[in-house]
Amino acid sequence: MIEIAWSNFTPWSALAGGILVGLAAASFLLLNGRIAGISGILGGLLTPLTGDIAWRIAFMLGLLGAPAVWLLAGDMPAIEINAGYPALIIAGLLVGIGTRYGSGCTSGHGVCGLSRLSLRSLVATLSFMATGFITVFVIRHVLGV
């Protein structure tokens, strides 16, 4: 039986934020002709090719600067990171290796790939969603952390 956390449920802000993410990916695609895949844009900076660096840094600066620009207009919503440092290190390594090995993350496969109806991205998205659900289940309900 699935129990819904109605007090945490925020469909409207989630939808509005999702539309903004979609608009960002759409503008990137239609202006620059590229897929807005965060792990790919960041990963490409590690094996830099001439003329292929500035735009990647610019995209990352936009992401990094979003909270600062947001603060000019109002308060930032909470960012709660409850994982401890060892967990964060293991999680980061897995996300870094996994997204490069699988050529994409939630943005590249999840948003852009599904939007262009790519079977490859559907397989990737179902794979990381599955292990995401399983991992949280094991941590919270089997190990009881």
Partner 1 sequence: MKYSLASLFAGLIFGFGLIVSGMANPEKVLGFLDIAGLWDPSLAFVMGGAIIVGVVAFAVARRRTLSFLGFNMKIPSHNHIDKRLVIGSLMFGVGWGIAGICPGPGIVALGAGEIKAAVFVASMVSGMVIFELIERNRAKA
Q: Of 44-83, which residues contact partner 1 (CB under 8 A)? A: 46-47, 54-70, 76-83
Q: Which position among 50, 101, 143, 144 is part of the footprint of partner 1 (CB under 8 A)?
A: 101
The interface with partner 1 within residues 23-42 (CB under 8 A) comprises: 23-36, 38-39, 42
| Smallest distance, partner 1 to C-beta of residue 111, A | 5
Is there a contact between 36 and 108 (Cβ–Cβ < 8 Å)? yes
Is there a contact between 26 and 44 (Cβ–Cβ < 8 Å)? no
Residue 99 burial (CB count, 10 A): 23
Q: Which position among 48, 50, 118, 143 is part of the footprint of partner 1 (CB under 8 A)?
A: 118
Q: Does 3 bind partner 1 (CB under 8 A)?
A: yes
What tokens were used for 129? Answer: 């969603």
Q: Site for partner 1 (CB under 8 A): how many residues?
A: 113
Is there a contact between 73 and 88 (Cβ–Cβ < 8 Å)? no
